[in-house]
Amino acid sequence: MINIDKVTPLSRKTILLISDITSTLLSLFLAYSLLYSPDIFLKKLPLIWPYVSILIGIRLGACHYFGLYNFSWRYASSKEFSRIFSSVTTSSILITVLLYGLQLRVFPARILLIDWAFVLIGIGGVRSVLRLYRDYLTHTHPKSIKNINLIIIGAGDAGEMIARELTRVSSLPYRLIGFIDDSTSKIGKVIQQAPVLGSLSDLPKIVEKHAIKEAIIAIPSAKGSEIRQIISMCETAKLSFKITPGLSDIIGGRISVSQLRNVSLEDLLRRDEINMSLDSVSAYLSGATVLVTGAGGSIGSELCRQISKLSPKALVLLDHDENAIYHIHMELNTPYSTTHIVPLIADTKNYAHLDSLFSELKPDVIFHAAAHKHVPLMEGNIRTAIENNIMGTKNVLDLAEKYQAKECVLISTDKAVRSTNVMGATKRLCEILVQLKANSPHTRFSAVRFGNVLGSRGSVVPLFKKQLAGGGPLTVTHTDMTRFFMTIPEAVRLVIETGALGKGGEIFILDMGKPVRILDLARDLIFLSGLEEGKDIDIEITGLRPGEKLHEELFFNKSVLTKTPHTKIFVTEPASFDTLLTLKKIESLLEFCTHSKPADLRDSLMKTSQEFEPKP
């Protein structure tokens, strides 16, 4: 028996071409047979035969134009069959217009109408038969041993996609028993031949009744608290489980079995997604030359990935780390990319070099992500932190204004609020530099402030995973320490969005929900790894590191925050400073950098930054 999944693409096209030609000829014959006797048709055959090739050519051309030879039989759906309808209808209209326009009325109108119906049945029918045949092979294939009873938690679109693929992939060992969903209106309904058996609270008894071994969590929009509840129920029912990606990770709206994975910390921290206006984003990035500083870092590289999809004319990747730039450049510079990718190795502290690059490239939009961000390290490298973060930012902002860029967005941090550390103090002064540019005539300057991002190079999660792999212990500095967390893709969407919202001098702030206790994060990771705290691995409390705070804040005063068109994004209006005096203080600090002792330099930095903290 032939397995059509193993037929080469060229062979598939040949089969379809032959079947479409046959359908075209047979449909014409049947149309004449319905209206005329066979002997009349045979008399007309010499007259119409020269025009049959035109009819076949137009039919096949329309099939090719509508992509009927490219889509997979395996995933044929109503969308593909609507293409068949469009192809046959378009070709029939073209044939009628051509023949009657040239007054070549070799085919009566009634014949063309009946022929349209038969061709539609023929072309669509062949593909339906091929799909049915493939489904038959799926269910009768000798490797199709379904010996693991499975339940899908979530009877929405994601659950239906997974169920549909489970019935098609013959090598999967799963037998789908049914669905679980808390929507009472869905309970009792049948989806892909599997019933919705009950709600989440019914899971333990359903598992026991049907001897279910595994579960798939198919709710991409679920919040972290909901995922935690589901996992808890799966643990109670002694079920192993996997999860579909979140909404932000799904490309093209299709979810497949290959995307299933183990639950991660990111799933437990899921929050409401920020709805981003792609139209407004595309308006200022499409066709623009975009510069990303710090392009090799966690935030910078993700900025580059997302911006490259929004059709900029050129994307400039700037970083002083050549290895990081090499990797992101290789990732983005594909044969299919329509954007000119420019990799640059440069240091933002070097004004002359930066000036020459701006003069040559003249960027329209700038995202300034380059900064030293590691809090304890910067406590011991104060001069470097000040020069890199403050001087580098001042150079970028000044050159953005000099060369009349349209937008310039600074990446800031929650550590800039009432900072007790060097890194936060430098970023607060960077925010001040942005606000001093509020009235720039050509460039809109803004900053975006958010908390920690999961998976970044300096974040706690990679550290925990490394410690876990080494057998522990997981080190937590304080039992009560909390931090705000978000995923890198979400943080980047916020940064891109602020470029469209900014008017000049604002600091945008994300409502990040409740802060997460670091100790809970460590315990979650141990649990997700299938280990038990105190038995398999320990958690050690080590004490606060230099510059660390127990709790971070996102704003100085909530009363001065105003809403934006996005309910989860807030903004502080540009602050009022004496521009000349403020610049003089910052420049004095930069000059003081060159000859002061670290202790004196730290005192000067903290004093300068605290001068610009809003009073309660």
pLDDT at residue 280, as a whole number: 63
In a domain, residue 508? The reply is yes
**What is the three-class DSSP state of 263?**
coil
Q: What share of the chain is helix, strand, coil (3-state, %, to 5)?
A: 50, 15, 35
Contact between 564 and 508 (Cβ < 8 Å) = yes
Amino acid at 47: L
Torsion sign, CA atoms 230, 235, 238, 239: positive
> Are the CB atoms for 616 and 557 separated by under 8 Å?
yes
Residue-range definition of the domain harbouring residue 203: 148-263
By the 10 Å C-beta count (0-12 exposed, 13-18 middle, 19+ buried), 497 is classed as buried
- Strands, E assignment, 233-337: 240-243, 289-293, 314-319
User: Is residue 227 domain-shared with residue 292, that is, in the same domain?
Assistant: no
Residue 13's H or E segment, with its range, is: helix 9-35
Residue 204 located in a structural domain? yes
pLDDT at residue 372 in the model? 93
Structural domain contains residue 306 = yes
Within a domain: residue 446? yes
Q: Judge if 51 and 21 occupy the same domain.
A: yes
The answer to whether residues 123 and 177 belong to one domain is no
Statement to judge: residues 101 and 157 lie in one domain: no
Q: Is 471 left (phi over 0), alpha (psi -120 to 50) or beta?
A: left
Of 263, 287, 322, the last residue of a domain is 263
Does residue 155 share a domain with residue 136?
Answer: no
Sign for the pseudo-dihedral over CA of 189, 191, 197, 199: negative
> Residue 408 pairs with which residues in a beta bridge?
366, 445
Contact 304/295 with Cβ under 8 angstroms?
yes
Quote the pLDDT of residue 253. Answer: 47
The letter for the amino acid at 41 is F
Residues contacting 49, CB < 8 A, separation 6+: none
The answer on 195 and 136 residing in a single domain is: no
Q: Would you say 394 and 586 are in contact if contact means Cβ atoms under 8 Å apart? A: yes
What's residue 406's pLDDT?
A: 94
- CA 511 to CA 150: how far, in whole Å? 38
CATH code, domain carrying 357: 3.40.50.720
Q: Are the beta carbons of 428 and 612 closer than 8 angstroms?
A: yes
Q: Are 414 and 449 in contact (CB under 8 A)?
A: yes
Distance CA 449, CA 431 (A): 9
Q: In the chain, what is the straight-line distance between the N-terminal and C-terminal CA atoms, in Å?
A: 79
Domain count for the chain, please give it: 3
Asked if residue 520 is part of any domain, the answer here is: no
* Domain end call among 204, 228, 263: 263
Of 222, 224, 202, 225, give the one whose Cα is nearest residue 212: 202
Q: Which residues pair with 539 in a beta bridge?
A: 474
In the block, residue with structure tokens 């001042």 = 394
CB 427 within 8 A of CB 413: yes
pTM across the whole model: 0.66
SS3 506: strand
Backbone angles phi, psi at 495, to 5 degrees: -60, -45
In this structure, are 367 and 497 located in the same domain?
yes
Taking CA atoms, 396 is separated from 2, 156, 319, 464, in Å, by 64, 47, 13, 35
| CB within 8 Å of 109: residues ≥ 6 apart | 96
Are residues 153 and 104 part of one domain? no
Residue segments in the chain with a per-residue pLDDT below the cut of 50: 1-7, 9, 75, 138, 140-144, 247-253
Domain co-membership, 366 together with 426: yes
Tokens of 454: 């999961």
Span 376-386, pLDDT tens digits: 999 999 999 99
Distance between CA atoms of residues 513 and 268, nearest Å: 13
Domain co-membership, 292 together with 441: yes
Among 263, 297, 331, which residue terminates a domain?
Answer: 263
Catalytic sites, residue numbers: 415
Predicted confidence at residue 38, as pLDDT, reads 66
* 3-state SS class at 340: strand
- How confident is the model at residue 6, as a pLDDT? 46
